[in-house]
Amino acid sequence: MKASLKTKLEQLLERYVDLGALLSDSGVIADQDAFRNYSKEYAEIEPVVFCYRQYEQTQAELDEARAMAADTDPEIRAMAEDELGSLNEKIEQLDAELQTLLLPKDPNDSHNVFLEIRAGTGGDEAALFAGDLLRMYQRFAETQGWKAEILTERSGDHGGYKEIISRIEGKNVFGLLKFESGAHRVQRVPQTESQGRIHTSACTVAVMPEVEALDEVEIDRNDLRVDTYRASGAGGQHINKTDSAVRLTHIPTGIVVECQDERSQHKNKARALSLLQAKIMSQAQQKQDDAQAAERRNLVGSGDRSEKIRTYNFPDGRVTDHRINLTLHRLSQTMAGDLAPIIDQLVQEHQADLLSSLGSETDA
């Protein structure tokens, strides 16, 4: 283990002990905000501390086994040699686990998300594909125990959606879905195609973390235009009797959001405001990402987000994620919501990149 890594772990262990004492302090217990913040930090550090203690214990056993391997008694040496192999393997596993646990956390990983799907090139077929993608994500959400709801939609002329925005709530939603943002391409024979020709269509997917605290993105109410109107679509008689749907326009950025899911105008306005905050934050993040990308474009290529990230090829029954050169011949399972084999690989690749960066920093 690198000395810099060990130093960091010792500091975390010391902080863990301090937090334990603070959480037992009557003054801290009486202060709910302080107690909540310390409890959160304690819970975040705890897995690292447990793993580090296990590493230290294994390291001590390994040192003991090495000493036994130098013993004059051949039976003791043989026993030590048997232990050395398993202990070395265990120490390598724990070292790798510690490095992963120490990776910088994305503060948005635990957030709920707004999932936006827009039909791109391909006309009616793109709109149908947008519907397929929505169902794919809804089924994946079900497997994760998440809750998904539709906020606003624009139906396609012959089915599917020109645009649809869904809110997904649950554990680690953004952490798993954040790699889905980008252009998704489909290759298949449309039902309307009489010659059996394969058509290529595309949709764009945007996954935006929901802003948890209203003050994270400040919006001046004077910068907002609020329009109310009667919601359209399913909902019974009530939906056409009141102006419950809300459209918000953020004048400085030109961002427009709508929500007509709830029967209450106040609830729709609150949801629309939350979506607007997420879009403003996403736009600011995009500007920052673009600035960083411009600096490294000459080294790693454009990395333009408009480039396709994934292709769903129906004739061959395969799905390809172009970012990590992953091709799986399990398209039907993927469209049925089994995204784990793809998402797991994307997360692992991302962690490998972070580990590489962490290694560079500790070497410096």
3-state secondary structure 117-174: EEECCCCHHHHHHHHHHHHHHHHHHHHHCCEEEEEEEEECECECEEEEEEEEECCCHH
Q: Could you tell me the CATH number of the domain that includes residue 291?
A: 3.30.160.20
The predicted pLDDT at position 75 comes to: 85
Alpha-carbon distance 143 to 150, whole Å?
18
Q: Report whether 234 contacts 153 (CB < 8 A).
A: no
Query: Domain limits at 147?
Result: 109-210+323-364
The helix (H) or strand (E) run that includes residue 209 is strand 199-209
Contact present, 326 and 345 (Cβ < 8 Å)? yes
The answer on 268 and 127 residing in a single domain is no
pLDDT in tens, 158-211: 899 999 999 999 999 999 999 999 899 999 998 767 677 899 999 999 998 887
pLDDT of amino acid 234: 47
H/E run at residue 4: helix 3-22
Joined tokens for residue 337: 């919501």
CA dist 132 and 314 (Å) reads 12
The pLDDT value recorded for residue 39 is: 92
Instruction: Give the model's pLDDT for residue 141.
Output: 97
Give the model's pLDDT for residue 320: 96
The verdict on 138 and 277 lying in the same domain is no
CATH code for position 338: 3.30.70.1660
Give domain status of residue 303, yes or no: no
| 100 to 41, 50, 93, 108, 257: CA distances (angstroms) | 18, 14, 11, 18, 38
Structural domain includes residue 306: no
Question: What is the structure's pLDDT at 49?
Answer: 92
Shared-domain flag, residues 200 and 232: no
In the block, residue with structure tokens 């003991």: 64
Look at the chain and report how many structural domains it folds into. Answer: 3
203 and 117 share one domain: yes
Same-domain status, 201 and 114: yes
* pLDDT tens-digit series, residues 25-62: 999 899 988 998 899 889 888 999 999 999 999 999 99
What is the structure's pLDDT at 295? 38
| Residue-wise DSSP of 212-252 | SSTTSS---GGGEEEEEE---SSSTTGGGTS--EEEEEETT
Residues 8 and 80 in one domain: yes
The dihedral through the CA atoms of 188, 192, 195, 201 has a sign that is negative
Are residue 226 and residue 247 in the same domain, yes or no? Answer: yes
Q: What is the C-alpha to C-alpha distance for residues 125 and 127, in angstroms, rounded to an integer?
A: 5
Q: What is the pTM of this model?
A: 0.64
- pLDDT at residue number 331: 97
CATH number of the domain that 54 lies in? 1.20.58
Same domain, 30 and 56: yes
312 in any annotated domain: no
Q: What is the pLDDT of residue 115?
A: 94
CB atoms < 10 A from the CB of 32, how many?
9
Do 97 and 242 fall within a single domain? no
Instruction: Find out whether 345 and 323 touch, Cβ atoms under 8 Å.
Output: no
In angstroms, rounded to a whole number, what is the distance separating the alpha carbons of residues 342 and 309? 12
Does 249 fall in a domain? yes
- What is the arrangement of strands in the sheet containing 308-313, beginning at the earlier edge strand? 147-155, 161-169, 113-119, 199-209, 182-188, 308-313, 318-321, 326-328
142 lies in a domain? yes
Q: Please give the Cα distance from 309 to 216 (Å, whole number).
A: 30
- In the predicted model, residues of the chain with pLDDT beneath 70 are 192, 194, 212-217, 232-242, 262, 288-307, 356-364
The pLDDT, as a whole number, for residue 364 is 47
97 and 127 housed in the same domain: no
Extract the tokens encoding 191: 């039902």
